[in-house]
Amino acid sequence: MRPVRRETLAVLVAEEIRRDIIHGAFKRGEKLPPENELARILGVGRPTVREALRILEGEGWVQFRFGGGAYVAKDGKSPEGNLTHFQKEEMLELLRYEILELEEEGKEIPPGVREDLERLQETNALEKIERFYTFLANLKQRKDYPYHEPSDWEGIKRERPKEPTKASLRVDPKTLRDRLEGAWLGRCIGCTLGKPVEGWPKEDIEAYLKATGTHPLSDYFVYAPEKIEEGRHPFHPSAIEATRGNISCVPRDDDIDYTILNLKVIEENGFDFTSEDVAEAWLSYLPFNMVYTAERQAYANLVRGMKPPFTATYWNPFREWIGAQIRADAFGYLAPGNPELAASLAYRDAVLSHTKNGIYGEMFVAAAISMALVSDDLEEVINAALSQVPQRSRLSELVKEVMAWSESARSWQEVWEKVEERYGKYHGVHTLPNLAYVLVALLFGEKDFKKTVAIAVMCGKDTDCNGATAGSILGAMVGKSGIPEELYLPFGNRVKSSLSGLCEVKIDDLVEATMSLVQRG
């Protein structure tokens, strides 16, 4: 796995040097700084810089002179037009998402902004696109925006309820071990259950289940792609390894990668780890091609030399999407009965790539798992998690709304309709609608593990994430003893991972490592 990471870093370093050439920081025919100087500026090793320069040489951007180092290619030597167009299209796509994000954050969007953006299609001057991005970054907040959503730790603490929930309950070591094992298994089961239909809307999932005679969902999906109606979503490329009769382990998924990785972060750095420690773990263990949306932008920003929390904001319009929320679980596992500690650990992880509700989603889930490990009361679990996030945030409002709707609704589908009406405007992998689906599953699952994860998946959208989160929270409540063994026996105690040096681990070892850290902490 390590060679993947080196290649990825070299590609990103090449991108930075290429950008400087395009913007005129290095002129045509000019000698580039020595490799050791570039390594110092970019915060990477000299071999990575050398590899990046070779990439640029192959593309025609850089020329090597015998005994003289690397030079920017002279006019006519580099394919600048094609590459600039590729970068331009990527930047414009990010800006389209950025405008949506700014609207959701309550920024004052001037009339004609989208038209101005589309006119940038006509330019090859990346400086103009950068200036437009800077203009957007400086937009002011709408005066009528009803929410207050800080991203800094002190601001979040001020906006929480005056007395955040502190658990007074404890469980004996044997019960705790059972619950931790239930949480790990629950996450693995929920992720695997939702993996084949990741990104599918509710109606497509329902149609497929009915076509295969398996509605409502009560077990892993049957693999029958011929049953998918024309015009509906196809299976996820890795679907078959997560379907009934074809499961031999927990398939590799980022929802599991991050849980293992964050356990590793605390093993190596202790409970006082920093966001920079998380960043270093990403660069050391995570291949770049296995991270997505907000995490991909943050990873690239790390290589550009940025540090948290700036890695979360620069050219990152995905900063409130679900990526941080799926990284929460290990912090809940490691703080049983202490939701405030769990939320603070999650915060240090989240700020690497997320802001506002992206951060709150991770804090909420970590706190919920923390309380679920010591409580049998679902309402207590949700309220404990709610007490850790800003009261005047959209996420806090969502949780309260879903709980209120669920009290009077006759079915989970009825609440799902209300969620769609209220939060359907958000992207399918945004934190808010997906957290709502997790809550719907928990509130209507009646503490039945199989029913709960099935509802989370049948709600649609980010099905593997939501199945994993619902499974983790409820698994922490009911323990391994409350999970049907036919759901975890197919795993053979094995988990696949993309993490360098951890490509396959045993579930038992993850539970043991978690228990050891809890006892040490």
Residue 154 resides in a domain: no
Q: How far is it, in rounded angstroms, from Cα 298 to Cα 293?
A: 9
Element (H, E) at 62: strand 62-65
Q: Output DSSP code: residue 22.
A: H
pTM over 0.75: yes
What's the pLDDT band for 17 if we cut at 50, 70, 90?
confident
Q: How far is it, in rounded angstroms, from Cα 132 to Cα 126?
A: 10
Backbone angles phi, psi at 63, to 5 degrees: -125, 140
Q: Would the annotation count 376 as a binding residue?
A: no
Which residues, in sequence order, are CB contacts of 415 under 8 Å at separation 6+? 402, 405, 406, 409, 440, 443, 444
Residue 348 resides in a domain: yes
Q: Residue 96's domain spans which residues? A: 80-137
Q: Would the annotation count 464 as a binding residue?
A: yes
Residue whose C-alpha is closest to residue 479's, from 471, 467, 468:
471
Amino acid at 59: E
Residues 66 and 192 in one domain: no
Residue 155 resides in a domain: no
Q: 364-381 pLDDT, tens per residue?
A: 999 999 999 999 999 999
Q: 303-350 pLDDT, tens per residue?
A: 887 899 999 999 999 999 999 999 999 999 999 999 999 999 999 999
Residues 346 and 480 in one domain: yes
Note the pLDDT of residue 333. Answer: 98
Measured in residues, the chain has a length of 521
What's the pLDDT band for 168 if we cut at 50, 70, 90?
low
State the angle between helix axes of 275-285 and 254-269 in degrees (0 to 180), rounded to the nearest 10. Answer: 120
Q: Would the annotation count 377 as a binding residue?
A: no
What's the burial of 497, exposed, middle or buried (CB within 10 Å: 0-12/13-18/19+)? buried
- Per-residue CA distances from 108 to 116, 140, 421 (Å): 16, 6, 24
Which residues, in sequence order, are CB contacts of 103 under 8 Å at separation 6+? 109
Residues 513 and 406 in one domain: yes
Residues 341 and 418 in one domain: yes
Residue 142 resides in a domain: no
Q: How far is it, in rounded angstroms, from Cα 361 to Cα 46?
A: 38
Which residues, in sequence order, are CB contacts of 93 under 8 Å at separation 6+? none
